[in-house]
Amino acid sequence: MRKTNAYVLAGLLVIISQSKSFAQAPTNARRSNFLVCAIKTVGSDVAYVVTSPSRLTTKGGLELLAFSAVTTGLILRADDKIDEELALEGYEFSSQPLKELAKLGQIYDDIKPANFALGLTATTLAGGLVLRDKKLLQTSRLLAESVVLTQLFTAWSKGVFGRARPYTDHGPHDFNLFRFDQSEDFKSMPSGHVSSVFALMTVIAKQYDHWYVEIPAYTFAVSVALQRMTSRNHWASDTMVGGALGYWVSSTLVRKQHEAPVNCAVQPYFIGNRLGVVMNF
């Protein structure tokens, strides 16, 4: 799967680079300007996400406080009970529907998050080029930025919390703070699978703001969270923190894009059977 995704991206790059029919062949100066614009765009996006806590509104602060209270309650009172319920074999009326939904999330684990993210980004990029759709091209950039940023925050947070995973049987209260050298057994919070899938699905849901997009997108994301719990890789609170992290990064990036659209863009087009791109500023 990893090789297949690599070939897809390589093929797209070859098609673009080998295209000789441009309505307006970009000069070296235009290429340089586009590269500078792209770097500035990514840099400003990263800065916008990192500094977003300083723009927290009163409503946002209350929501964060409520989320923190619920997460703390899960850790102290419910994580172990949820883990026991979902880990039970056989038919349990209360948890069986959740276990069935978790089977959908198993697909994400089988494909692997990195491969899924690469494939989804490549698909939106290809669709944007073939259909000459600027929004799809914009979506591919947001997907790539959101998942990379989310995983950086996730990796850092795992080291900060140093929480033991459920399968270690250390219990939900075993935190080893700021132990960045811990093994995978102590990288439970937050869930990397859940943070990445929520980052991806949030971009899709907010870029295409319709119920028939949002419901399948978030249902799939929730199924991944359930799979991580039924497999005893994560506690319920781990998946909540991971989901919130992915949602926060992606919604912040999409909001910035909607408030201040990027001025530099790649505009695809066809001439005969040739695919070309024009760099717009």
User: What is the per-residue burial (b if ≥16 Cβ within 10 Å, else e) of 25-44?
Assistant: eeeeeeeeebeebbeebbee
Residue 9 exposure: Cα atoms within 13 Å on the Cβ side? 14
The mean per-residue pLDDT over the stretch 119-138 comes to 92
The H or E element that residue 71 is part of is helix 58-73
Residue 9 pLDDT: 46
For residue 259, pLDDT beyond 70: yes
DSSP character at residue 266: E
Strands annotated E in the chain? 265-271, 274-280
Omega into 261 within 30° of 0, i.e. cis?
Answer: no
Split at pLDDT 50, 70, 90, the class of 77 is: very high
- Phi, psi dihedral angles at 268 (to 5 degrees): -80, 155
For residue 60, pLDDT beyond 80: yes
C-alpha distances out from residue 38 to 9, 117, 214, Å: 19, 21, 29
For residue 12, pLDDT beyond 60: no
pLDDT in tens, 16-40: 433 333 334 445 555 556 566 667 7
The mean per-residue pLDDT over the stretch 90-95 comes to 54
Distance between CA atoms of residues 99 and 95, nearest Å: 6
For residue 92, pLDDT beyond 80: no
Tokens of 189: 């919070």
For residue 198, pLDDT beyond 50: yes
Residue 21 pLDDT: 34
Distance between CA atoms of residues 164 and 93, nearest Å: 29
Query: What are the residues facing 262 on neighbouring strands?
Result: none
For residue 112, pLDDT beyond 50: yes
Residue 89 pLDDT: 58
Tokens of 68: 């923190």
For residue 236, pLDDT beyond 60: yes
Please enumerate in sequence order all residues whose Cβ is within 8 A of that of 246, keeping only pairs 6 or more positions apart, or say none.
146, 150, 194, 195, 196, 197, 198, 199, 200, 202, 221
The mean per-residue pLDDT over the stretch 54-58 comes to 92
Residue 166 pLDDT: 96
Query: What are the residues facing 269 on neighbouring strands?
Result: 276
Which of 88-102, 126-140, 211-225 is least confident?
A: 88-102
Give the residue, 277 or 190, on which the prediction is more confident: 190
Query: What are the residues facing 268 on neighbouring strands?
Result: 277
* Average pLDDT along the chain: 83
Give the residue, 67 or 96, on which the prediction is more confident: 67
Residue 39 pLDDT: 77
The residue with tokens 């700021």 is 178
Give the residue, 214 or 266, on which the prediction is more confident: 214
Query: What are the residues facing 231 on neighbouring strands?
Result: none
Which of 76-85, 181-190, 267-276 is least confident?
A: 267-276
Split at pLDDT 50, 70, 90, the class of 2 is: very low
Residue 91 pLDDT: 47
Percent of the chain at pLDDT exceeding 90: 64
Residue 23 pLDDT: 39
For residue 14, pLDDT beyond 80: no
Please state the pTM of the whole predicted model.
0.84
